[in-house]
Structure 1
Amino acid sequence: MKKKVAFICVHNSCRSQMAEGWAKKLGKDVLEVYSAGTEDYPEVKPLAVEVMEEAGVDMSEHNPKLLTDIPNEMDIVITMGCNVQCPTFPSKHREDWGLDDPSGGPIEDFRNTRDIIKGKVEELIERVNNNEL
């Protein structure tokens, strides 16, 4: 049975969208993947979409979602490193990845964030496969 995982940040426009993209691509056999934010935002950051496309992950159809747009119980909740109070969301396991938001920075910052998130998603999938989560 797949584990339900939600990646949560403030705007759901960059880091949590990248994590959703990687998790859907790399963990489709073991994860049911969602992402959401605590505040409304008009679009996924174009540089986030661009750097994920470079890595073979299509996020062109992704849109920011709010917490109310996703199921209200998860097996795993991962916050991305909130600059404000991270939201409380019902889950069996919760962790914060403490990632800096590359928004407003150069494309290289987005690429670095993309690669860090990929590694963290791979570790998450391994932990799920090993029944650690």
Structure 2
Amino acid sequence: MSDHIFNVLFLCTGNSARSIMAESILRRDGAGRFNAHSAGSFPKGGVNPLAVKVLASMDYPTDDLRSKSWDEFAVPGAPHMDFVFTVCDDAAGEVCPIWPGQPMTAHWGIEDPAAAQGTEIQKEAAFVAAFRYLKNRISTFAALPVASLDRLSLQTHLHEIGRGDGASSARHPAA
């Protein structure tokens, strides 16, 4: 069994909700196997309060979560990424930085809970649904025998995870 801890980057345009939640979920559920990070192509500069509320209510870490640019991860000295997952359709369609080391990539798009309309309860329900979809995908990913799969098999699994329940309507092959 490999002792390598894999670095994972979740990308979304604003880095305020979906990618933030994914970072928190993997930070807890993948502790000891994965280092979780998130970033955005055009970060909003703040974390959505409903994302923090839902994460906290599910006992997931909210400390140190911040909205940041993906440029932080494309500079010398940044952590080398093993995996890069886009969780919003806009980020999947954008030209990403060149990630050193050619990390495995996949698109795991889900609908933006921050775009939900209605009452506060309806908006929070959209965040809970996004959390559930992300948690299911991340649990499936974390259960993969990453160190023992060949690159092609692993890539196939990563794409299949992105086609699971809650997949947004737009389809992109990879980040």
Output the TM-score relative to the length of structure 1.
Answer: 0.90
- Deviation by residue 1:52-109 (Cα, 9 ceiling, x = unmatched): 1110013154110111223364110000022352342423310000211110321100
**Is the alpha carbon distance of 1:45 and 1:37 closer, same or farther for their aligned partners in structure 2, counting shifts above 3 Å?**
same
Asked which structure has the greater RCO (Cα within 8 Å, sep 6+), the reply is 1
**Other-structure match for 1:75:** 82
Aligned: 1:99 with 2:106: no
For 1:20, the aligned partner's letter is E
Supply the distance in 2 between the matched residues of 1:128 and 1:9 (Cα, whole angstroms): 26
Identity, % of aligned positions: 24
Supply the distance in 2 between the matched residues of 1:107 and 1:130 (Cα, whole angstroms): 37
Supply the distance in 2 between the matched residues of 1:93 and 1:26 (Cα, whole angstroms): 20
SS at match of 2:82: strand
From 33, 36, 40, the equivalent of 1:37 is: 40
From 3, 15, 20, the equivalent of 1:17 is: 20
Supply the distance in 1 between the matched residues of 2:141 and 2:95 (Cα, whole angstroms): 20
Supply the distance in 1 between the matched residues of 2:94 and 2:141 (Cα, whole angstroms): 20
Supply the distance in 2 between the matched residues of 1:54 and 1:131 (Cα, whole angstroms): 35
SS at match of 1:64: coil
Structure of larger gyration radius: 2
**What is the root-mean-square deviation in Å for CA atoms of aligned residues?**
1.8
**Other-structure match for 2:125:** 108
Please, which runs of 5 or more residues in structure 1 have no aligned partner?
none
Q: CA deviation at 1:124?
A: 1.1
Supply the distance in 2 between the matched residues of 1:103 and 1:29 (Cα, whole angstroms): 31
Instruction: Count residues with an aligned counterpart.
Output: 133
Output the TM-score relative to the length of structure 2.
Answer: 0.69
Please, which runs of 5 or more residues in structure 2 have no aligned partner?
117-122, 155-175
